[in-house]
Structure 1
């Protein structure tokens, strides 16, 4: 049965809200780079489209420019099977850009996103409200909030509240995007209190809030009244609470990553897709791990996967 946060009268549709960027990743020897299209909430939407039945619709809400690279983004979204009816266009700005550098499977990023059109995605709250109409679930992240002006952060959360559409939230804390860590902590807690499902990462939360363990992170958010919390731990034991219960999921097969880009985003997709189709929390966590374990074995954020339930014997 679906969790209480995602049960309702909405149609089989999920809407992801955030920033879509041009991605550069090292393509091998000789200083060559390959270009892709990605972004944390886009990554999750992309995997959701591959994990949910065709009857489900997966929409993406963002803002792009009117130049060639933005046209490529729109074409990419459509080819991925995502709804683009609510992607806004901006004559003055274009997409952000980031480059991935790898060392022993761990990634670091260099960003160029100051003039990203997505920073204006909540300038017209009415357009966001239209995108949410009739959805079963919305999805956003701390990056979605961080790139917005403070007044637009407030507007986005207000639109979500007024829509009545429950949302899943990954704090995805990136200190360089926020004015200060005090501001980051404040907005993460504001969004978390309103969220139906929270999907934090233990390392981010320890750095931002001083949590001493994933269990401490779960307990802190439980104290805020969040009904469903799953604390990702980089392949380690996952502490969770949902449906009045709590637990620790462990024993998942370890992998040695090639590239951890998109690991958390793909886990979120696996978890949410399973929950939306009626899986219990522990089974949904296993589904999330199954997806993320495949993603970290390939370079870049987006890669072909074998869905849970279709694993070769």
Structure 2
């Protein structure tokens, strides 16, 4: 029997500047990046699907084709006429990126508007992964519908993971963000918070406080990421584990490091590793991801020489267009860390 991982959220068009008046177009988003990495981490017995809403336009078609070409199932996509997909542009400095977004008419904002579709998508999974961004892009009433659907799926035996991925600008206010994340945590088995974000929003003084709060919410597994500091994890019944982070001095782009970490979780059940080894592996995946540019859509598997752009990306320039395929060290984590 095939186990299915469903990642739920928003995939967007990414425009990344590669030179004067030149941009590479790709497809990315936090939960989609997680699905991309999970597909490479999991054995063939697992099916990885991405659930979102897209439009009926040509760009939406290209996005769906890119997903399918990367081995991600697309039967969980819902088409919404008169809507399209969101877009963002990137500026990169010293390995850190800043973003400008255009997502007001994104079909993904309606992903919880069809309860029957949502229940079918979640009910067909063994494991569902969502993020704080998945929640943030929804209207408050739709957010509640999604959390209720996750709770129903969990009651039916589906495991749920939540990467809190707190982005304050996407939320109406801090109170709404805290309330939604807490409610979703109560409907989740696995919590993947980042301490720096949790400290600002919830006032947690230590990673231990973050862990304790999510344990109290009912999580069975909590992994508190903390930048270059020690990773703090806990699971029932194994208990607490601490893993030293290994700094990487060759950071080019930190994007998708956390997403690759989140995408690694389903490998936990398949590989049956000891907790410390699992956290080491996921940390290695995040470090290697940071050694190459951008998220899922620009990562190639084999090309190392200049040539055509990778699937899912293209170069645009005022005059001529040329591009070299992107290389992300995270590709190596598929064969070396899992």
Q: Normalising by the residue count of structure 1, what TM-score does the alignment of the two structures yield?
A: 0.91
Q: Give 1:228 deviation, angstroms.
A: 0.8
Q: Give 1:117 deviation, angstroms.
A: 0.4
1:146-185 counterparts in 2 under 5 A?
146-163=136-153, 164=156, 165-185=158-178
RMSD: 1.7
1:300 partnered with 2:291:
no
Report runs of 4+ in structure 1 exceeding 4 Å deviation. none
Q: Does the CA-based 8 Å contact 1:255-1:293 persist in structure 2?
A: no
1:186 partnered with 2:179:
yes
* More displaced 10-residue stretch of structure 1: 62-71 or 296-305: 296-305
* More displaced 10-residue stretch of structure 1: 60-69 or 153-162: 153-162
Q: Give 1:214 deviation, angstroms.
A: 2.2
Residue 125 to residue 247, structure 1, CA distance change in 2 (3 Å): same
Residue 190 to residue 235, structure 1, CA distance change in 2 (3 Å): same
> Alignment partner of 2:219: what SS?
coil
Q: Give 1:255 deviation, angstroms.
A: 3.6
Residue 117 to residue 251, structure 1, CA distance change in 2 (3 Å): closer
Q: Give 1:60 deviation, angstroms.
A: 0.8
Match of 2:227 in 1: 234
Q: Give 1:309 deviation, angstroms.
A: 5.9
- Between the two proteins, the alignment pairs up a number of residues equal to 301
1:279 partnered with 2:299:
no
Match of 2:12 in 1: 21
1:206 partnered with 2:176:
no
Q: Which of 194, 217, 221 is equivalent to 2:214?
A: 221
Residues of 2 paired with 1:80 and 1:45: CA distance? 10
Match of 2:321 in 1: none
Match of 1:112 in 2: 102
Q: Which of 257, 282, 289 is equivalent to 1:288?
A: 282
Q: Does the CA-based 8 Å contact 2:151-2:188 persist in structure 1?
A: no
> Alignment partner of 2:108: what SS?
helix
> Alignment partner of 2:332: what SS?
coil
* More displaced 10-residue stretch of structure 1: 246-255 or 221-230: 246-255
> Alignment partner of 2:92: what SS?
strand
Q: Which of the pair has more CA radius of gyration?
A: 2
Residue ranges of structure 1 left out of the alignment (5+ in a row): 1-9
Residue ranges of structure 2 left out of the alignment (5+ in a row): 302-330
Q: Which of 64, 74, 77 is equivalent to 2:67?
A: 77
Q: Does the CA-based 8 Å contact 1:270-1:289 persist in structure 2?
A: no
Residues of 1 paired with 2:258 and 2:13: CA distance? 19
Residues of 2 paired with 1:113 and 1:226: CA distance? 32
Q: Normalising by the residue count of structure 2, what TM-score does the alignment of the two structures yield?
A: 0.85
Residues of 2 paired with 1:177 and 1:52: CA distance? 31
